[in-house]
Amino acid sequence: MLFNTLNFAIFLLIVFFLYWFLTGKKLLVQNLILLVSSYSFYACWDWRFLFLLVFSTALDYFTGIKIQQSPSKKIKLAWLWTSILINVGFLGVFKYYNFFVKSFAGAIALFGLNVNPGTLQIILPVGISFYTFHGLSYIIDIYKGEIKAETNFVDYSVFVCFFPLLVAGPIERATHLLPQIKKPRVFDYGKAVDGLRQILWGLFKKVVIADQCANYVNIVFNSPSAYPGGAHLIGAVFFACQIYCDFSGYSDIALGTAKLFGIDLLRNFAYPFFSRSIAEFWRRWHISLSSWFKDYLYIPLGGSKVGTWKKIRNVFIIFLVSGFWHGANWTFIVWGALNALYIMPSILLKTHRDNINIVAEEKALPSVNELGSMLGTFGLTAFAFIFFRSPGIGFAIQYISNIFSGSWHSALSVIKPTSLAGLFLALILFFVIEWFGRKHQYAIAEIGVEWPKILRWGFYYCIITTIFVFAGSNQNFIYFQF
């Protein structure tokens, strides 16, 4: 059940009414409705994996309690590793088994030995990378003594399975989400309206920008040999825009949906394409994952408070693992490595904490320097995203070399020039709206709030009409595959 379908809208409507009208503000009933609806939502994808989800939830619930109850550190550690190994084991089998088997066979073949890689036809359970990380952060936090184990299974299950974040995040923390689940929610008009507005903007980003860019990107990436030069360059730029609007659009819908139930989720994107450096980009892109790796991997490894070589090692480890988290393909690892290389100078020069504030915070327009930095950062990330989008490393290298070959006018041969011009126009308009809304959680949060209702609603009707007219066939969200 995709967020951008009528089925989801109807599902949401039903759950919304059950949640606010049947519960009588009773916490247990509210949480039970959220849990049942979350399981139903998940079952719509593939009911067989519901058992895996329930098992994973029960495992972390149980080990969390065991860690807390254990008298000695050794036993706590044993329970912690039990949970980590089982969780990562599931992830390894479902997501990485074939990759490891094929890579092993490939490595052996280098020594002249041929083995038949016993790959399996494995379907990746939707959201496994996300809910596994939910569970891991929970038990690690208990082990570190930062939180207490949750003893109410329903509450804990809602924390793991809450349907807006179940299939593609944001990756929540128990410290943030569990306290909200433990309190009865009271309907908040402002929050609900804000949620609907955020859903609308998320849909716009996904349907109008991401899906339209995808039409172009798919043509170029599916038959790169047919389109030299400029088409590849525009394909790379459009893919960067596509993946941003696809994933941040999804996140906006998730956050907006949660608000309808009186719950705030962690912010996942903060206008990453207005970053002046790669370090800033990574503070603004997929924030819930970046901060997860920072807190549970980078800092335990010593972070940046170690010697130079260890610092370099740590940066590479988190970016390589982050790349690998995205998918079982060397392209993701190269994508991670490239980002590690990009960020390395700022780590070594200790400038990575620069640019904490919003770009041109009190000004309408950026300075030339700021604009240059933003364009440079965008260029680097768009380049790295070529590997993210490519099916293999050889393909990506060929794609990059194609950028520098042939006619730069060839971009016009991919889709109709009028469609290309329309897409550019839509992107410019989109980034202008994002620029003026960059101080807020999402770009249209404050647009029209002071306007007369008729104008404000007119603005929303325009967005709805644009979504309807421009809706394309690329309905899947990119991050659902992770």
Partner 1 sequence: MTMKKFLVYLTWFLVPLIIIAYVADVFISRYLPKQNDYAVGEFPVWSDLFGGRVNSDIVIYGNSRAWVQFDPNIISDSLTTTAYNLGIDGYGFDMQYLRHSILLQYNKKPKLIIQSVDVFTLEKRTDLYNDDQFLPYMLFNKEIKNVTQNYEIYNHWDYEIPLVRYYGKNTAIKAALRMLLFPSNNPVMRMNGYQGQDKEWNNDFDEAKRKIGSYKVKTDSALKRLFEKYLKECQRDHLNMIFVYAPVYIEGQKFISNGGEIIDQYKSYSKKYKIPFYDFSNDSISFQKNLFYNAMHLNKKGSVLFTNQLVKTLKDNHSLD
**For residues 110 and 138, is the Cβ–Cβ distance under 8 A?**
no
Q: Which residues contact 160 (CB under 8 A, 6 or more apart)?
A: 53, 56, 57, 60, 131, 134, 135, 138
Segment lying near partner 1 (by CB under 8 A), choices 38-46, 71-79, 271-279, 455-463: 455-463
Is residue 451 part of the contact set for partner 1 (CB under 8 A)? no
Q: Which is nearer to partner 1, 67 or 200 (CB)?
A: 200
Q: How far apart are CA 8 and CA 242, in angstroms?
A: 22
Stretch that binds partner 1, among 52-60, 230-238, 373-381, 465-473 (CB under 8 A): 465-473
Of the candidate spans 4-12, 276-284, 325-333, 398-406, the one that interacts with partner 1 by CB under 8 A turns out to be 4-12
Binding residues for partner 1 restricted to 29-68, rule: CB under 8 A = none
Q: Note whether 473 binds partner 1 by CB under 8 A.
A: yes
As a whole number of angstroms, the distance between CA 380 and CA 281 comes to 11
* Chosen residue from 358, 429, 468, 481 binding partner 1 by CB under 8 A: 468
Q: Which of 379, 391, 417, 472 binds partner 1 (CB under 8 A)?
A: 472
Report if residue 192 touches partner 1, rule: CB under 8 A: yes
Q: Does 405 bind partner 1 (CB under 8 A)?
A: no
Figure out which of the listed residues 47, 85, 464, 481 binds partner 1, where binding follows CB under 8 A: 464
Judged by CB under 8 A, the stretch of 52-60, 173-181, 337-345, 454-462 that binds partner 1 is 454-462
Q: Is 457 in the site for partner 1 (CB under 8 A)?
A: yes
By CB under 8 A, which span of 62-70, 227-235, 391-399, 469-477 interacts with partner 1?
A: 469-477
Does residue number 349 form part of the binding site for partner 1 (CB under 8 A)? no
Name the active-site residue from 326, 352, 409, 440. Answer: 326
Q: Which is nearer to partner 1, 100 or 461 (CB)?
A: 461
Tell me how far apart the alpha carbons of residues 172 and 111 are, in angstroms, rounded to a whole number.
45
Instruction: Based on the shown chain and the rule CB under 8 A, indicate whether residue 261 belongs to the binding site for partner 1.
Output: no
Is 100 or 468 the residue whose CB approaches partner 1 more closely? Answer: 468
Interface with partner 1, residue 7, by CB under 8 A: yes
Q: Is 134 a catalytic residue?
A: no
**Binding-site member from 75, 85, 93, 188 for partner 1 (CB under 8 A):** 188
Rank residues 97 and 460 by Cβ distance to partner 1 and give the closer one.
460
CB of 24 to partner 1, least distance (A): 13
Choose, by CB under 8 A, the member of 224, 397, 460, 463 that binds partner 1. 460
Selected from 461, 462, 476, 481, the binder of partner 1 by CB under 8 A is 461
Point out which residues bind partner 1 (CB under 8 A). Answer: 6-7, 10, 20, 187-189, 192-193, 196, 457, 460-461, 464, 468-473, 475
Catalytic residues: 326
